[in-house]
Amino acid sequence: MNIQVTEDPIVYFNKQFVPLSEARVNVLTHALNYGTAVFEGIRGYWNAEQDELFLLRPVEHYDRWKGNCGIIRIGVGAPSAKLAEITAELIRKNHFTTDVYVRPLAYKSAERIGIAPDDQDAFTIVVIPFGSYIDSTRGLQAGVTSWRRIQDNAIPARGKISGAYVNSVLASDEVRRNGYDEAIFLNESGHVSEGASCNLFMVRKGRLITPSVTENVLEGVTRAAIMELARRELKLEVVERPIDRSELYVADEVFFTGTAVEVAPIIGVDRRPVGSGQPGPVTSELRRLYQDATRGRMPSYRSWLTPVYHPAALDRVA
């Protein structure tokens, strides 16, 4: 799904709050020509009963973003807590009272030809209204792409490095042209890695299994949240290990997780039904728990949430 920005929201660009229409870069910008940028994705959820918008783990997301920026030596001077406050101020300036998606982007900003990077860095933060990334209510059909997942010693997959997402674009384009909703990558070892823009879990013989971070996966914040919910709320054993492609064919359940996709059931892989061919009970329960936790309906997870409009709102979470 492509989310179009139809208004002209206020964004943070060049250390100022400006309309999106004024946030422009030169066509010779290093990041545009060579993919030298790192982005992040953060969700914010509107709770109408509390008249509050909750940012989901913003400091944790910004910590990851800054760490990943270091991989290609992009400096972001602001502390993560300050970045979270800038994000909250953007939401207030735009008067958003709906679910939102936050897109921070740090990039090499030199305007020239030449691949060698320098220390000219910049960053921007954009917040837009954002509903469902993809309608996964009835489950998704996934296909294993012929494109292999990028390797850590080529372009590290654990960070959202912009140039690396050509890998995901190729995979996504291939499987959609073949009639699937989403791609599943294998790594160079032939093991399951992740989706084109999301992590992957399977349920097999009563255990929740996901590829380890050494299988060239993004170190997902949502991935970690689902693992915590599975252990604490469902008392499931969670295992990180290699997954063979054929295991997906015999799994009881398979699902994607990610900031944009949230929790998305997979009901078929390579035109083979997963389990009953319907969203499974573990997936459905984790989906419900995640929705409740991220919308301020579970007091045990209030530490995940940063209220935007009323800082004392967490005291009223019920």
Measured between alpha carbons, how far is 218 from 235 in angstroms, rounded to an integer? 25
Q: Choosing from 66, 160, 205, 235, which is the catalytic residue?
A: 160
**Residue 255: which residues within 8 A CB-CB, separation 6 or more?**
200, 201, 202, 263, 264, 265, 266, 283, 286
* 82 is known as an active-site residue: no
Measured between alpha carbons, how far is 104 from 108 in angstroms, rounded to an integer? 14
Give the three-class secondary structure for 165.
helix
Nearest to 9 by CA among 84, 100, 82, 85: 100
Cα dihedral 159, 163, 167, 168, rounded to 10, equals: 70
Number of neighbouring beta carbons within 10 Å of residue 192 = 27
Cα within 13 Å of Cα(57), Cβ side: 19
Tokens of 287: 């989906």
Give the residue numbers annotated as catalytic, written as ranges.
160
